[in-house]
Structure formats: structure tokens, C-alpha cells
Structure 1
Amino acid sequence: MRKTMKSWIAVGCAAAAFSAAGCGTTSQNTGQVQPQDPTQNCQGPDGRYTIGMSQANLAEPYRVRMDEDIRKAAEKVPQFEEVKFLDAAKDNSQQVSDVESLMTQQVDLLMISPNEAAPLTEVVKKAYNEGIPVVLLDRKVEGDAYTTFVGSDNTEIGRQAGQFFAQQLLPDGGKIVQIKGLSGSTPAAEREAGFKQGIEGSNIEIIDTVDGEWERSVGQQQMDALLKAHPQIDAVYSQNDPMAEGAYLAAEAAGRVQDMEFVGIDGLPIESGGIKAVEQGRLAATFVYPTGGQEAVEAAKKLLVDCEQVPKQQTLPTQLVTQQNAAEVYQRLNQN
């Protein structure tokens, strides 16, 4: 089904021959972003389409849920014959290869949740410049060579988390540690920046920051080292729930779990997710971070079936979850 950009570039060159720098030169050589009509692959309701989904990893429950949400939503669109899922397993080179493979298979639209921003930027730009609509989920790349980004405002989530610490969890101040996600991923930087804004002016001190790579086991290992290095830790700000749970286990094993509070992000409405951890008292709070899977499929349908444009940025809502509302939020999210 997919059409390439060659015909569009040829028309542009014929109409503006004096602009020789843009004609006969690939975007890979110039580094420029080619203009794109993101609906050019649209064949309407009679079309049949294949979507490629490149996932950063499936070690995180959040990403497993994202793929499930995409699969379920795509099954409701009869024109979507297949979604090809690939798992990069936290390997940037593998994900670049995965995206190139999907391009070779001439998928009609790409969904990508980048492992890290910089290493995926060029291959995403290459796909976009070849006329393939690109839907980014959760994590961004550098620049704007993509069709639409679907995800929550990670800076705002971090800010809200900081405000929760400053206003409710530690209003008199305290010493906390931060467990970041993978350092090269955009949510890690944004959630840290927002958090620092949220605690600004308080007496909260971040005494140490470590990289937990978004994984529970790594978070547990890092927290074990933090506990040995710091005799006083009043609370843990973890950039996702699995790392927060790992930190909780490390503190429990060290006999210090009663001395501190744990806050995460994701709020997956599953038995092993953060909302249940809040309800059961292991986490003081989490923040709902929608996977964007359903919204990504809706964007794909607009582009490929309805021949409609989509916004460049699609910001999804978040919500603070505490013991007061955990049961209600869990029930509501599982009704959707």
C-alpha cells in the first residue's frame, strides 16, 4: 500500500528547478527534514494496511501493556490487517535495525517507542522522509522528523511528584534519593527536571541519584547500594513503579522500610502494577502514565483510513494516586 516520497520530490524539483540543493539529493545526505503529507498513504475505508511497532524493550510491564493496548485497539479496525511487533530488548543498534527492517517490509505506518532519543533520531528521520507516517509513543527523538508524538507531559508529572513530596509527604523537608530511568531516554531527563521544579523552595534535599534503567531488579540493586551509602533516607522518588518496588524490597531486606516513603510513576491498572502497590501500602503514591496504545491506533486510523491530519503533539492526562483514591482509580481504568 505504501507510496514513497519520490513522486512528491520530483514534482517539487520540476516546479522549482532553481532550488537545485533540494533536488536529486537525499535527505540522508542533506540532513534536512523533507515535507510530508502524512495522509498520502490513505486509501480510505477500502484500504488494507500493515503497521510496524518497534518497542524499546519488553522487560518493563508498562511496555508489555503498551503492546497489548495497541493490539487490542488495532483488532477493532477492520482495515488493519496486521501489526508487526518487534522488541529491541534495550539495544539501540537492534532498534535501529528493527526500524529499518520494518521499512524494508514496506509497512504503511510506523509506531516507535525509542529506547534512547539520540541513537534513534536518524533512522526515524529516514522513515519520515521516505513518506512513512511515524507515531512516537512515550519517548521522543531529537528534532521534529515524525508525524505525531503520543504521551504524557513527563516534565509536568515530575513537577506534580515534587509538589506531592513538598506539600504532603515531607512538608518539613527531608533527605531523599532519586532512582532515574535510562539516562538517555527523554522521560528520565524530563521527570527529573520537573521534580526539581516541584521541590524548589522546600527543605527537601536530593542526596543521591542513580540510574535504575526502568527495571525492578536494577532498582533493587541500586537501592541496596544507596542504603549502605546513606544512613538517613526519608523517601525515594522513583521514576517508575517497578524501580520503586525494587527499592522497597531492598529497604525491607535491610530492615529500614519503615523509615521511608516510596513514590513511583506509571500506575498500571494490573495486579502487579503501581496502583495496587499504593492500595496495599508499599508505595505512598504513583502517577497514572497512560501507555498511549489506543491513542496511537486512533491516530493511525485517522491517517490511513479517514485521510485526516493529526496533531503534532498529543498529550495524555495523568493523575495522582494515593491510598484515598487507589481502589476507585483501579476500577475505573479497568472499565475502559
Structure 2
Amino acid sequence: MRKTTKSLIAVTCAAAAFAAAGCGTTSENSGQVQNQDPTKNCKGPNEKYTIGMSQANLAEPYRVRMDDDIRKAAAKVPQFDVQFSDAAKDNSKQISDVENFLTKQVDLLMISPNEAAPLTDVVKKAYNKGIPVVVLDRKVDGEAFTTYVGADNVQIGRQAGEYFKNTLLPDGGKIVQIKGLSGSTPAAERDQGFKDGIQGSKIEIAATADGEWERSVGQQKMDALLKANPDIKAVYAQNDPMAEGAYLAAQAAGRNDLKFVGIDGLPIPSGGIKAVEDGRLQATNLYPTGGAEAVEAAKKLLIDCQPVPKTQTLETELVTKDNAADVYARLNQG
């Protein structure tokens, strides 16, 4: 009896171990990042491909432009069918959106994550399934993606900081910073870069608020910042809509003396470049959407059967009154 019992226990344990292995200690559910052949889904130019694009939100003009740039570029690739989802700033919804794309068995996933940490696991799940993943603008944690397309946010922040130090406030002074959504990688990186850029100057960041990347929130936060910090000279906002919101709050408070700098530089009538031309902002910093580059990466992976770089860094540029009209015209060519 003892021998039989031991045998049954051994068989049960072996079966449990086999089941555990089958459940995926080496599958997409594993905490480990699997080796991926990024061109595995490539079937050449004679096939059709479905791409899922998971957008963080469509409240920001920048994200609307990103989707538009993807549509425009994908329209030139007849093999591509791009399906879009809007997470509306909700991490749980974005996770569900990605899961839905996986259920549809998309050939490639594009994603601009709302926040890094909450979206990391579901992106890793897609990647470990062998689906190529193109991450745009905002990052996820770790290396479970095929390629990241975006500008260097630390560099952009540094560029803005150096403009403050060398041109806008060479004699120093107090300023306030309006950051983007906490938990999104550009917010932390643009803050770090800006502080690097103003190092050695007499510029003091008197206060910082989270404007959630939105104009209306930036306006509300600026109203409170002004009341608490009446002696500030300028505003560094981590995107143009928040800078415009801060400008409106300052106008309402009768503070026509303040200077404003943003980031994005969208080449649209309501974008940051025109705001610089019109004098509401003293400068903006170009932050390309990466939409066209993301589609080109998808084409290489799915149609051309070519690998792509792990990181694709897009070029930025400082836009001031001196070059705003030229930059706007150049970016709208074609």
C-alpha cells in the first residue's frame, strides 16, 4: 500500500509539473521576455495584414495627429488594414484594448501607452506571443517590444532648459513647471532634461504641477500656481496645450508679463508653432508623432522581411518667432 501510495503521489506531482509547464513558464504568460523573430509574421507583399493601434487618448491634439499620420502613411500600403482604439486615459481600458487586438490575432501591435508600468505586462504578453510590437512616444518598462519610435525626451527637456538659461531668462528668476501625466515616461524625462538644461543658471523652479497633458487642466493648475507664486517670470509646460492653458490663466489674472515655452510643435492651425508665430508662446520644441516611421517599421517587418532597430530616435528642433513660419511651411510640404 505504501509503495502504491508513493507511486500515485509521484504520478500526480509529475502531472502537475507537466501542466505547469504547459501553462507557460516559457509562454507569453511568463515573467521572462521570450526571444522573438521580429520578421516571423512576414509573408511578403502579396498578403494582407491587420495592425492594431492602441492610443492612450484622443483628448490631446498630439495623439489625434499621431493617428492621422498613421492613417496617411498606411493608406500608401495597400496590404495594411489598421484598426484604432482609444483608451481615453484609462489604463484598464487600454489593457482591454490590447487584449482585444490579441484575440483578433493582429499581425502587428502599435501602442502609445497611457502609463508605462500598468501597460508593461500586456505588451510583454503580445511580444511573447511572437507579435511584433511598435511602441510610440511613451515607453513601457523593460525590453519586451520590437522597436520604440520617438524623440529623445531628455534631450527635448534639456533643449528647453538651455533656451531658458541662455535666451529667455539669462539673469535668472523664478518659474513654474507644468508636467504631463505622472507615470508617463515623457513627463519624467522632460523634467530631468530641463533641470539639466538650466543647471548653472539662477533660474529657480518655484513649483511644479501635474497638468495631465491637457489644456483645461493646465489652465486650472496655472491659476493656482499664480496665486501661490506671484513673483514668477515664466512657465515651462511639457506640452503646448498646457502652455496655452497657462497663458489663458495668466491673461485672466492680468499677467501679461509672463513668458511661456511648450513642447510638441504640431504644424496645424491650432498647434504650438502657430502659437509661437502669434506671440502666445515664446518657443516650442518639436516632438514628431512618429506615425509615418511606425508604418515604415511595420512595412519592413511584415512585407520586406527586414529587422528594424530596437530604438528609432526622431529629430527635434527649437521653434521660436525667428523660424516658426519656415518650420511650419516645411512640415506641411506634401
Same fold (TM over 0.5): yes
Aligned ranges 1:64-213 → 2 under 5 Å = 64-80=64-80, 82-213=81-212
Tell me the equivalent position of 2:10.
none
Task: Give me the whole-angstrom Cα distance separating, in 2, the residues matched to 1:29 and 1:306.
Answer: 29
Task: Give me the whole-angstrom Cα distance separating, in 2, the residues matched to 1:188 and 1:100.
Answer: 26
Give yes or no for the alignment of 1:223 onto 2:222.
yes
Tell me the equivalent position of 1:260.
258
Deviation, structure 1 residue 26: 3.9
- Residues 248-277 of structure 1, C-alpha deviations (whole Å, 9 max, x = no match): 000000001x22100000000000000000
- Classify 1:94/1:272 alpha carbon distance in 2 versus 1 (closer, same or farther; 3 Å): same
Secondary structure of 1:259's aligned partner: coil
Task: Give me the whole-angstrom Cα distance separating, in 2, the residues matched to 1:29 and 1:149.
Answer: 22
- Residues 175-222 of structure 1, C-alpha deviations (whole Å, 9 max, x = no match): 000000001100000000000000001000000000000000000000
Given candidates 286, 289, 294, the residue that maps to 1:288 is: 286
Question: How many residues get paired?
Answer: 315
Instruction: State the identity %.
Output: 78
Task: Give me the whole-angstrom Cα distance separating, in 1, the residues matched to 2:146 and 2:218.
Answer: 34
Which structure 1 segments of 5+ residues have no match?
1-19
Secondary structure of 1:128's aligned partner: helix
Rg larger in 1 or in 2?
A: 2
- Residues 50-81 of structure 1, C-alpha deviations (whole Å, 9 max, x = no match): 1000000000000000000000100100111x
The one-letter code of the counterpart of 2:96 is S
Aligned ranges 1:50-65 → 2 under 5 Å = 50-65=50-65
Deviation, structure 1 residue 23: 9.9
Report the more deviating stretch, 53-62 or 226-235: 226-235
Task: Give me the whole-angstrom Cα distance separating, in 1, the residues matched to 2:184 and 2:177.
Answer: 16
2:29–2:125 Cα contact (<8 Å) kept: no
Tell me the equivalent position of 2:240.
241
2:24–2:30 Cα contact (<8 Å) kept: no
1:27–1:33 Cα contact (<8 Å) kept: no
Task: Give me the whole-angstrom Cα distance separating, in 2, the residues matched to 1:169 and 1:287.
Answer: 14
The one-letter code of the counterpart of 1:288 is L
1:159–1:197 Cα contact (<8 Å) kept: yes
The one-letter code of the counterpart of 2:283 is A
Deviation, structure 1 residue 164: 0.3
The one-letter code of the counterpart of 1:222 is K
Runs of 4 or more above 6 Å deviation: 20-23
The one-letter code of the counterpart of 1:274 is G
Task: Give me the whole-angstrom Cα distance separating, in 1, the residues matched to 2:23 and 2:94.
Answer: 30
Given candidates 324, 328, 331, the residue that maps to 2:329 is: 331
Deviation, structure 1 residue 29: 4.9
Task: Give me the whole-angstrom Cα distance separating, in 1, the residues matched to 2:288 and 2:324.
Answer: 16
1:113–1:136 Cα contact (<8 Å) kept: yes
Task: Give me the whole-angstrom Cα distance separating, in 2, the residues matched to 1:250 and 1:282.
Answer: 12
Which structure 2 segments of 5+ residues have no match?
1-19
Task: Give me the whole-angstrom Cα distance separating, in 1, the residues matched to 2:21 and 2:234.
Answer: 57
The one-letter code of the counterpart of 1:119 is P
1:241–1:273 Cα contact (<8 Å) kept: yes
- Classify 1:324/1:38 alpha carbon distance in 2 versus 1 (closer, same or farther; 3 Å): same
Task: Give me the whole-angstrom Cα distance separating, in 2, the residues matched to 1:66 and 1:304.
Answer: 21
- Residues 261-311 of structure 1, C-alpha deviations (whole Å, 9 max, x = no match): 000000000000000000000000001110000000000000000000000
2:28–2:127 Cα contact (<8 Å) kept: no
